[in-house]
Amino acid sequence: MSNYQNAQSIDQPLVIAGRTFQSRLITGTGGATDLALLEQALVASGTEMTTVALRRLDPRGDGAAVYQLIEKLGLQVLPNTAACFSAREAITTAQLAREALETNWIKLEVIADEKTLLPDVVQTLEAARELVKQGFIVMAYTNDDPVVARQLEDAGVAAVMPLGAPIGTGLGVLNPHNIATIVARASVPIVLDAGLGTASDAALAMELGCSAVLLATAVNRAQHPVVMAESFRHAVIAGRLAALGGRVPKRRDALASSSLEGRAYL
């Protein structure tokens, strides 16, 4: 009987570009201040994939320890093009990442300016088309515009990653209506990326139908990164199950949990 289903029977693992993930939380390395702490947070989050800003962490230079940590933990590395301000810079950075890290996965970020850190969607679309042509698995960071999301999908990206709020703000999902619209029209995974601050934000993102959540600041810059990593691990599971569990409808008026008459209920 269908309503006996439990978490194990009801869900499927996340699949991006043919690769299967048990965890729907992608934890970034950005904002981490201490390697040992980063390690504990990554483990506590349960993530299987972590992002690294290639332009900030040189695999052959002072960033080497981070890449070694990722390898030691058995995580998939997802290089990103953070700090790129044009399609051309992002494409070059992706190519460098592919060479240095031997992965054709790339989180595409093209930022418009240093003040807002918001994506430049015109440049992002251009870069996405080119990177797909060059054989990259592109996960594209973007705004929360459902039209741009669709255009990225048409460009062949493996996942669309709309923001909840500007990077580092911790404001949560500012426009749930847009995220729900993006999800309803998508045929690739939608990964909520950027702006989350706390557990309820991540749960909400999953309830809106996102396939996964990506965050970095919210863990790495929290007062207790390991605790927040555990928190988000549970939050993403909670939100995913709520999306599948068929929540009760919102009602304007109250409804007794049982009635004295009908005894329709126990």
Candidate list 72, 107, 115, 250, residue with the active-site label: 107
Stretch that binds a second copy, among 18-26, 87-95, 98-106, 249-257 (CB under 8 A): 249-257
CA dihedral 179, 183, 184, 185 (to 10 degrees): 110
Near a second copy in 127-166, by CB under 8 A: 143, 145-148, 150-151, 165-166
- 118 interacts with a second copy by CB under 8 A: yes
Tell which residue, 102, 76, 101, has the closest CA to residue 22: 76
**DSSP-derived 3-state class of residue 213:** strand
Of the chain, the end-to-end C-alpha distance in Å amounts to 19
Q: What's the min distance (Å) between Cβ of 133 and a second copy?
A: 18
Tell me the β-bridge partners of 19: 16
Q: How many CA atoms does the CB half-sphere of 182 hold within 13 Å?
A: 34
Stretch that binds a second copy, among 15-23, 87-95, 98-106, 226-234 (CB under 8 A): 226-234
Near a second copy in 66-95, by CB under 8 A: 66, 82-83
- Contact with a second copy (CB under 8 A): which of 79, 119, 162, 189? 119
- Contact with a second copy (CB under 8 A): which of 17, 23, 37, 73? 37
Strands (E), 111-236: 137-142, 159-162, 191-193, 212-215
Near a second copy in 185-204, by CB under 8 A: 197-204
Annotation marks residue 133 as catalytic? no
**Euclidean distance between CA atoms 166 and 156, whole angstroms:** 25
Catalytic residue annotation: 107
